[in-house]
Amino acid sequence: MKSKMAYVLVFVGTLVLSEVIMMVLAMVKPEIFQKSATTVAPTPTAALSHKDSTHVEKVDSLMTPEAMVEKHDEANMQTLELAQKSDSVSLLLSKLKISEKRIADLESRIPGEIKKSQAGDSTSTKDRKMLVKMLESMSPENAARIIESFRDTDAREILMGIKSRQAGKILSAMNIDRASKLMR
């Protein structure tokens, strides 16, 4: 009697376990339990089912519940990764559109800036010529002190505009290091 009871318990346990597995599968992959006119119930080996007489479709072999859960989890991870990549692409596209708008704005401003620069150059050229005349009329020592306070490029341009005899006197009145630097 006890041995029969053990067999009955194993049988009932197996039935309960199989029902639990079926419920898990129904939650994880409901399409397995939906019947379709075009598919045939899978068999343990890869079987073939015929839709028409000309078309043959391969039916996947049965998977273990663990494999199905793992495959479902993998699909969820891939979906999550795809969503994250999609968000990244969307963000990059919006940044690209903003950059393109800024570039277009800057490009539209270029002609006006060129005109302003050209007008400024003519004014600065006039100012520079006037400064050269003033420095030429000063004593070389005073002109040297003023020119030493300028940037190297500005000081060179001014010295090039001054008559060579006067420029030589100004350079000789300057600090030797600064004068040699300007003459290079």
pTM, full prediction: 0.36
Per-residue pLDDT tens, the chain, 184 aa: give them: 556 666 767 777 787 777 878 777 777 777 776 655 444 444 444 444 444 444 444 444 566 777 777 888 888 888 888 888 888 888 888 899 998 998 888 888 887 777 777 666 555 778 888 889 999 999 999 999 999 999 998 899 899 999 999 999 999 999 999 999 988 8
Q: What is the DSSP string of the chain?
A: -HHHHHHHHHHHHHHHHHHHHHHHHHHH-GGGTS--TT-----SS-EEEESSSS-EEEEPPP--HHHHHHHHHHHHHHHHHHHHHHHHHHHHHHHHHHHHHHHHHHHHHHHHHHHHHHHHHHHHHHHHHHHHHHHHHS-HHHHHHHHHTS-HHHHHHHHHHS-HHHHHHHHHHS-HHHHHHHH-
